[in-house]
Structure 1
Amino acid sequence: MIEANTLRPSAATLETAPTRYVDGSGIRFAYRRLGPSTGTPLVLLQHFSGNIDAWDTAVVNALAVDRPVIAFDNAGVGRSTGQTPDNIAAMARDAVAFIDLLGLSKVNLLGFSLGGCVAQQIAAEHGRLVRRLILVGTAPKGGEEHLLAVLQEAFSHTEAPDPRLPLFFTKSAASQSAGVAFLKRAKMRKEDRDTDSGSAVTDPQAKALITWCATPDPEHAMLRAISQPVLVICGSHDTMLPADNAYAMFKALSNAQLILYPDSGHGALFQHHELFVSHVRTFLDA
């Protein structure tokens, strides 16, 4: 196994931190570690098709000022080996295997979109591992999703410089301007960039998300199994995983706070990155 416990102090940013690797469970996981060497690490669980470099540097670097932050590629994604599962439960098992390989006994989780589904599964099944949970732009089991329709709409905008502009942001001038700024930040790393995802990743991920939302959980058994404090955040105009999901999670969870950001879509955490970091910091420091 490649060195796992390499949690050393670092002034590195998401743009400059070396991509590290750890082997186990038949998978070589790629990750970057930022921030101080002490404190409960915040592990980031990424959205559909996303890799390490799809995270917003403004979010990750700011969060890493006063806490360890770990961004990684789950099995089959980016530079991680293995096969991308087509179900949330297997994705959660792979993520827990990665956390175990780093020798971490307690973590905070930030799950965005598909990553939020994975985060719910982990928190429900591994209560002692997860201290606090942040769910952003995601859905509960049996929730509402419009993944394929929203993707089709976004890719129809051939005039857009990047499909993430119509995918993550609303049509308002303010949101579009924030989207352009986000895209610039997303391209800041020039060397050792992560590997973009192809159909071997996106097809099983799409199946996993659609199946998760198509599987009824009328009693919210998954959410009711989560006892940790949870911060639920969503954009007011999220078309992929609508804000009704956030409210449903807030009501079903035993210890949750809910925040909706104005005039924002699926990428609300990127558009309102300063506010988002402030809210996450306050929540994690409690």
Structure 2
Amino acid sequence: MTQLDIVRQHVATLETALTRYVEGNGIRFAYRLLGPATGTPLVLLQHFSGNIDAWDPAVVNALAADRPVIAFDNAGVGRSTGQTPDNIETMARDAVAFINLLGLPEVDLLGFSLGGCVAQQIAADHGRLVRKLILVGTAPKGGEEHLLAVLQQAFSQTDAPDPRLPLFFTKSSASQSSGLAFLKRTKLRKDDRDTDNGKAVTDPQAKALITWCATPDPEHAILRAIRQPALVVSGSHDTMLPASNAYAMFKELSNAQLVLYPDSGHGALFQHHEIFVSHVRTFLQAQSAAA
């Protein structure tokens, strides 16, 4: 990495960062790199149907103020090539391949929704690769989900400016106002925006998420295989992956903290972005006997 690259990292934001590419295993991964050149990188694992530009700049930029942050498109998503898998295990394998292609010996993971399922699989399978993980608005294997019903309801609300408004936020005026502000932030990048690959992504992703939650794991094998410190986060009124999932994960993980945000839905991290970033920073910076 040249000195110019390092300078660009320091000044780049999610809205301005160069979209980079790395290729291996038959996949050309698209990603953006923010933050300083030193420190344990925080790799972001995105939600169902989302790409790099679906992340909230208020979250990503703030997290990148004091650590390297990497937002990327997994196989078949956005500008990454390959085929989107229909199962969590292969999504996790592809994400690990991406991390290895970047030559990163150790990372922290932030997995949101579907990305949280992928993060669990990676942490369980690759204990030395993952230092800490943040699981947001997600579910354990065998957990509770209402994806299709909630999606149908959201897309039936034709008066909503974006389906994410009813999907990610509650009906309260405060939550809806936060939702509109979030949508505005996600549109700040005007040039070199990521691409939406439609049903080629959403169909297999929906199958992967539904199958993950429909597959019983009575012994909680994946959660009990995760020894890393974990921060589990949920909104109080998440209709897609209810907060009961967060409590279930918290109970079974060996070293977890649980945070629930009030009057918030699936997008609690975007609605309460300032306190969420504060919680994540505190968690990542804290010393832990299990870290």
What range describes the TM-score normalised by the shorter chain of this pair? over 0.9
The answer for the alignment partner of 2:180 in structure 1 is 180
The answer for the alignment partner of 2:62 in structure 1 is 62
- Normalised by the size of structure 2, how large is the TM-score? 0.96
Distance across 2 between alignment mates of 1:64 and 1:133: 16
User: Could you say what the CA RMSD is over the residues aligned between the two structures, in angstroms?
Assistant: 1.0
1:108-128 Cα offsets, whole Å, 9 max, x none, are 000000000000000000000
The answer for the alignment partner of 1:223 in structure 2 is 223
Distance across 2 between alignment mates of 1:41 and 1:95: 14
SS in structure 2 at match of 1:179: helix
Q: Which amino acid aligns with 1:131?
A: R
- Using the aligned pairs only, state the percent identity: 85
Distance across 1 between alignment mates of 2:197 and 2:160: 20
The answer as to 2:119 corresponding to 1:119 is yes
For residue 196 of structure 1, report the CA deviation from its aligned partner. Answer: 1.1
Count of residues paired in the alignment:
282
Distance across 2 between alignment mates of 1:61 and 1:107: 18
The answer for the alignment partner of 1:87 in structure 2 is 87
Which consecutive residues of structure 2, in runs of 5 or more, have no partner in the other structure? Answer: 287-291
Distance across 1 between alignment mates of 2:118 and 2:5: 24
The answer as to 2:42 corresponding to 1:38 is no
The answer for the alignment partner of 1:201 in structure 2 is 201
Q: Point out 4+ residue stretches in structure 1 off by more than 2 angstroms.
A: 6-9
The answer as to 2:112 corresponding to 1:109 is no
For residue 7 of structure 1, report the CA deviation from its aligned partner. Answer: 7.1
Q: Residues 164-175 of structure 1: matches in 2 within 5 Å?
A: 164-175=164-175
The answer as to 2:250 corresponding to 1:240 is no
Q: Which amino acid aligns with 2:230?
A: V
The answer for the alignment partner of 1:213 in structure 2 is 213
The answer for the alignment partner of 2:128 in structure 1 is 128
1:90-142 Cα offsets, whole Å, 9 max, x none, are 00000000000000000000000000000000000000000000000000000
Contact (CA 8 Å) 1:87, 1:209: kept in 2 or not?
yes
The answer for the alignment partner of 2:6 in structure 1 is 8
1:161-200 Cα offsets, whole Å, 9 max, x none, are 0010001000000000000000000000000000013101
Which consecutive residues of structure 1, in runs of 5 or more, have no partner in the other structure? Answer: none
SS in structure 2 at match of 1:8: helix
Contact (CA 8 Å) 1:52, 1:194: kept in 2 or not?
yes
The answer for the alignment partner of 1:251 in structure 2 is 251
Distance across 1 between alignment mates of 2:197 and 2:172: 29
Distance across 1 between alignment mates of 2:240 and 2:186: 21
Distance across 1 between alignment mates of 2:197 and 2:242: 24
